[in-house]
């Protein structure tokens, strides 16, 4: 068992700088504009593409649960943006991602409950038609599938989404953003 932990730590040290239970990851992007989704929001808000959140999710998924993540986002060229604008855009997009997760969870719950109710009605109808074996079997199977999918959507998928969002929120300890010369250099593994 100890060999497995040592191999895991060696693997993680290729991607993270690890001190105790804190792993530091440096994400490097050429320009801040590559993180922006130009087709969303107009001038009201600059929406980030899913690239940054995908990288964050992947980093958190690699780490064992006991680790906290310090994230250094390095932007080689801020372009038309200042560092403060970039930090504000990232902060606003974190709130937007949280809103999207909560809204998606509510929609899954409502859709799942409606599937469960539809399945329950179909199952009641199937028992009323129990004299007709073929119809009883077909309707019974479809009602069971409705209930199964509803439970999966309302409870299982929703809970998995909640767990991954909570894990992401709990794992990130600190986020810094800067140009290559501003961010601290990571020690070589």
pLDDT tens, residue by residue, 69-87: 888 888 888 888 888 888 8
- Per the prediction, the chain carries an average pLDDT of 77
Question: Whole domain around residue 47: which residue ranges?
Answer: 2-178
- Does 164 reside within a domain? yes
Is residue 36 situated within a structural domain? yes
Say if residue 32 is exposed, middle or buried (CB neighbours under 10 Å; 0-12, 13-18, 19+). buried
| Inside any domain, residue 152 | yes
Total domain count, the chain: 1
Q: Which of 77, 39, 169 is nearest to 86 (CA)?
A: 77
**Is 37 a domain residue?**
yes
Is this model's pTM higher than 0.75 or not? no
Amino acid 44: pLDDT: 56
Whether residue 185 is contained in a domain is answered as: no
pLDDT at 25 (0 to 100): 81
Report, as ranges of residue numbers, the positions in the chain whose pLDDT lies below 50.
1, 183, 185-189
For the stretch 170-188, pLDDT in tens is 666 667 777 776 545 444 3
Selection from 154, 145, 158, 160 nearest residue 110 by Cα: 154
Note whether residue 184 is domain-resident.
Answer: no
Where are any strands of DSSP class E within the chain? Answer: 17-19, 22-31, 68-77, 172-178
**What is the three-class DSSP state of 132?**
coil
| Terminal Cα distance for the chain, rounded | 23
Q: Is 20 helix (H, G, I), strand (E, B) or coil?
A: coil
In the chain, the percentage of residues whose pLDDT exceeds 70 is 81
């Amino acid at each position: 068992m100890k060999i497995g932990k040592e191999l895991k730590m060696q693997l993680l040290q290729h991607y993270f700088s690890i001190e105790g239970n804190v792993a530091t990851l440096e994400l490097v992007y050429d320009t801040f504009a590559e993180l922006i989704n130009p087709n969303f929001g107009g001038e009201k808000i600059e929406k980030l593409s899913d690239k940054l959140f995908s990288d964050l999710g992947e980093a958190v998924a690699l780490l064992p649960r006991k680790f906290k993540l310090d994230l250094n986002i390095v932007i080689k060229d801020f372009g038309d943006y200042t560092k403060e604008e970039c930090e504000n855009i990232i902060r606003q997009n974190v709130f937007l991602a949280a809103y999207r997760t909560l809204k998606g969870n509510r929609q899954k719950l409502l859709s799942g409950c409606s599937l469960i109710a539809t399945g329950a009605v179909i199952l009641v109808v199937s028992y009323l038609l129990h004299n007709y074996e073929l119809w009883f079997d077909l309707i019974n199977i479809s009602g069971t599938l409705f209930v199964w999918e509803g439970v999966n959507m309302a409870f299982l998928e929703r809970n998995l989404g909640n767990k991954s969002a909570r894990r992401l929120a709990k794992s990130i300890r600190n986020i810094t953003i800067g140009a290559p010369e501003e961010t601290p250099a990571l020690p070589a593994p």
